[in-house]
């Protein structure tokens, strides 16, 4: 996958907030407002999210270039084998096919290892950004009288229609950026799954070697 793809599919996040009544002669009204948020877009568009995407590109970019070079080498060998099908000796054909097989196996293994490293880094980022984002969302919803906030970035969220007037995505982005320096993740908060951050480690599918 290309480096310019933007922050794998986000699990549905539905945060229901219950509020204790303050002791008074007249009970405080329960929150009844409902809002929606594209939490994937919210994380992506915060300053922290943009920096995380840039850092991932910087860290994993060289590995992507290395894998693309290996892919290119395999493609060239395949083209050589195809063009020389009538001119190459049988020994050279067998040698080229063995080289294609070996390089393809190596590319697959390296790609899997690199993607495992990337996945681990993504989870580390979400452990920070995701927890902070939910903390901001909880605070905003509590202070503004929302009984429920639903995540519409997931296709699994059963929201068939939502007015733009109840979309709080931009409000949460602005609030997150404002308070980010003082934020700490709430370890008990419900966290969204890792949004699709840049995945630089995904070489093009290798054409199957010519069968021997």
The residue extents of the domains of the chain are 14-182
Which DSSP string do the residues of 142-160 spell out, in sequence order? HHTTEEEEEE-SSTTS--S
Question: Could you tell me the pTM of the whole model?
Answer: 0.64
pLDDT digits (tens, 9 = 90+) for 132-191: 999 999 999 999 999 999 999 877 778 888 888 999 999 999 999 999 887 766 555 544
- Rounded CA separation 100/118 (Å): 26
- Which residue ranges in the chain fall short of pLDDT 50? 1-22, 190-191, 194-203, 205-212
Question: Which pLDDT score, from 0 to 100, does residue 179 have?
Answer: 92
Q: Cβ neighbours of residue 35 under 8 Å, at least 6 residues apart?
A: 141, 146, 148, 149, 150, 166, 167, 168
Question: Which pLDDT score, from 0 to 100, does residue 12 have?
Answer: 37
Q: According to CATH, what is the number of the domain 14-182? A: 3.30.910.20
- Rounded CA separation 53/55 (Å): 5
């Amino acid at each position: 996958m290309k480096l310019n793809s933007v922050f794998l599919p986000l699990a549905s996040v539905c945060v229901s907030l219950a509020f204790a009544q303050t002791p008074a002669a007249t009970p405080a009204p329960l929150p009844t407002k409902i809002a929606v948020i594209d939490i994937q877009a919210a994380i992506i568009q915060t300053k922290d999210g943009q920096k995380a995407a840039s850092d991932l590109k910087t860290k994993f970019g060289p590995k992507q270039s290395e894998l693309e070079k290996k892919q290119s080498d395999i493609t060239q060998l395949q083209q050589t084998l195809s063009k020389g099908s009538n001119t190459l000796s049988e020994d050279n054909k067998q040698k080229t096919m063995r080289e294609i097989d070996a390089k393809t196996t190596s590319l697959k293994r390296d790609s899997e290892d690199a993607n495992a490293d990337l996945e681990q880094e993504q989870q580390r980022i979400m452990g920070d950004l995701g927890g902070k984002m939910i903390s901001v969302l909880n605070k905003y919803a509590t202070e503004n009288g929302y009984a429920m906030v639903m995540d519409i970035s997931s296709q699994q969220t059963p929201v068939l229609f939502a007015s733009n007037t109840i979309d709080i995505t931009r409000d949460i982005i602005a609030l997150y950026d404002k308070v980010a320096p003082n934020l700490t993740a709430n370890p008990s908060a419900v966290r969204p799954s890792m949004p699709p951050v840049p995945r630089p480690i995904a070489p093009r599918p290798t054409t199957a070697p010519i069968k021997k």
